[in-house]
Amino acid sequence: MKKFALFTLALFVTGAVMAQTNSFPLNGGVGIGTLTPENGVKLDVNGFGTIGTSGSARIYLGTLNTSTAFIQSRNLSINQKLVFYGSSYNFDIGNVGIGITDPTEKLSVNGKIRAKEIKVEITGWPDYVFKPDYKNLSLFSIEQFIKTNGHLPGIPSAESIEKEGIDLGDMNKKLLQKIEELTLHLIQQEKEIAKLKKKTEKL
């Protein structure tokens, strides 16, 4: 009877060990769904899991395939470092804050951003300035507007920018519009100078 009980216990322990898929070593990384967590990783999750309770603070972790991982969350606030390794990622996140706990935009950064290239998708590029029916303000009208308002027409004031910030795409359009309008004024002045030269030569 004792031999049978010991045999049954041995089978139970062996089955439990063989079925074990988690690793909680005293030293090194913790593996969930894997007995061999990646070297140097504190937590290695093989499969799909969640962190937190249901609601805006919940984060979903998992893998779509061997080369693609994803994180899904309604709101994610990053005050330290968030590093990802691999070839591609999919993100399903509401508002992301880096250095800020209550982001109100898709990405809010409290600090400097460094990038090799930034591409902004915008519509309504102001080439309409060169169309024949475009009414360009005269330099006299622009001068009067500047005296009254302290900034160029169509350009936000310093107070507005300090309060609300700048939309890079929209501001690039406005600045290009002013450059194109100024170019038209220069062309017109060049024509008038040429006319005056001809009149002077005749005299």
Average pLDDT, the chain: 77
Percentage above 90 pLDDT, the chain: 41
| pLDDT bracket for residue 148 (50, 70, 90) | very high
Predicted pLDDT of residue 11: 42
Contacts of 201 (CB under 8 A, 6+ apart): none
Q: Phi first, then psi: what are they for 147, rounded to 5°?
A: -60, -35
- Look at residue 155 and tell me whether its pLDDT is greater than 70: yes
pLDDT digits (tens, 9 = 90+) for 81-103: 555 555 555 555 667 788 887 88
Domain ranges of the chain: 7-109, 127-198
Strand partners, 50: 60
Cα-based torsion angle of the residue sequence 119, 102, 155, 148 in order, rounded to the nearest 10 degrees: -170
- pTM to 2 decimals? 0.56
Averaged pLDDT for residues 127-147: 96
